[in-house]
Amino acid sequence: MNFRNIAILGSTGSIGTQALDVIRANPEKFNVTTLTAQYNADLLIKQAREFNPLRVVISDESNYEYVKNALSDLDVEVLSGNESLSDVACAIETDIVLVALVGFAGLKPTITAIKAGKDIALANKETLVVGGEYVMGLASQHKVKILPVDSEHSAIFQCLEGESGNVVEKIYLTASGGPFRGRDSNFLANVRSQDALKHPNWTMGSKITIDSATLMNKGLEVIEARWLFNLAVEQIDIIVHPQSVIHSIVQFEDGSMKAQMGLPDMKLPIQYALSYPKRFKNNLQRFNFLDYPELTFEKPDTATFRNLNIAFDALRMGGNMPCIINAANEVVVAEFLNNRLGFLEMSDIIEACMNRVSFIKKPSLEDYIDTDRETRTFANTLVTN
pLDDT given at position 103? 86
Residue 289, CA distances (Å) to 54, 235, 244 in order: 44, 30, 13
Are the C-beta atoms of 36 and 62 separated by less than 8 Å? no
Angle between helices 107-115 and 126-141 (to 10 degrees): 10
Could you read off the pLDDT of 207-237 as tens digits, one per residue?
989 999 999 999 999 999 999 999 999 999 9
Other Cβ atoms less than 10 A from the Cβ of 252: the count is 16
pLDDT given at position 1? 56
Could you read off the pLDDT of 350-385 as tens digits, one per residue?
999 999 999 999 999 999 999 999 999 999 999 987
Cα-atom radius of gyration of the chain, to the nearest Å?
Answer: 20
Report cis status (omega within 30 of 0) of the bond before 264.
Answer: no
pLDDT given at position 102? 87
In angstroms, the CA 255 to CA 98 distance is: 35
339-342: long-range pairs with CB below 8 Å, 24+: 339/192, 339/193, 340/383, 341/383, 342/189
Q: Which of 200-209, 229-238, 295-304, 340-349 shows the lowest mean pLDDT across its residues?
A: 200-209
In angstroms, the CA 29 to CA 126 distance is: 29
- Is the pLDDT at 168 greater than 70? The verdict is yes
Neighbouring residues of 125: CB distance < 8 A, sequence distance ≥ 6: 150, 153, 220, 221, 223, 224
Are the C-beta atoms of 145 and 120 separated by less than 8 Å? yes
In angstroms, the CA 129 to CA 315 distance is: 9
End-to-end CA distance of the chain: give it in Å, rounded.
Answer: 56
Residue type, 150: D
Neighbouring residues of 349: CB distance < 8 A, sequence distance ≥ 6: 328, 331, 332, 341, 379, 382, 383
pLDDT, average across residues 16-32: 96
pLDDT, average across residues 254-283: 96
Q: How do strand 246-252 and strand 257-261 relate by DSSP bridges?
A: antiparallel
pLDDT, average across residues 96-124: 95
Look up the pTM and report it.
0.93
pLDDT above 90 coverage of the chain, percent:
92
pLDDT given at position 203? 66
Domain boundaries, the chain: 4-148, 151-265+289-317, 319-385
Kindly provide the b/e burial profile for residues 224-245, where b requires at least 16 CB atoms within 10 angstroms of the residue's own CB.
bbbbbbebeeeebebebbbbbb
- Phi, psi of 175, rounded to the nearest 5 degrees: -135, 140
pLDDT, average across residues 338-360: 96
CATH number given to 319-385:
1.10.1740.10
Residue type, 223: I
pLDDT given at position 5? 97
Could you read off the pLDDT of 306-326 as tens digits, one per residue?
999 999 999 999 999 999 999
Q: Which CATH number fits domain 4-148: 3.40.50.720, 3.40.1190.10, 3.90.1170.40, 3.50.50.60?
A: 3.40.50.720
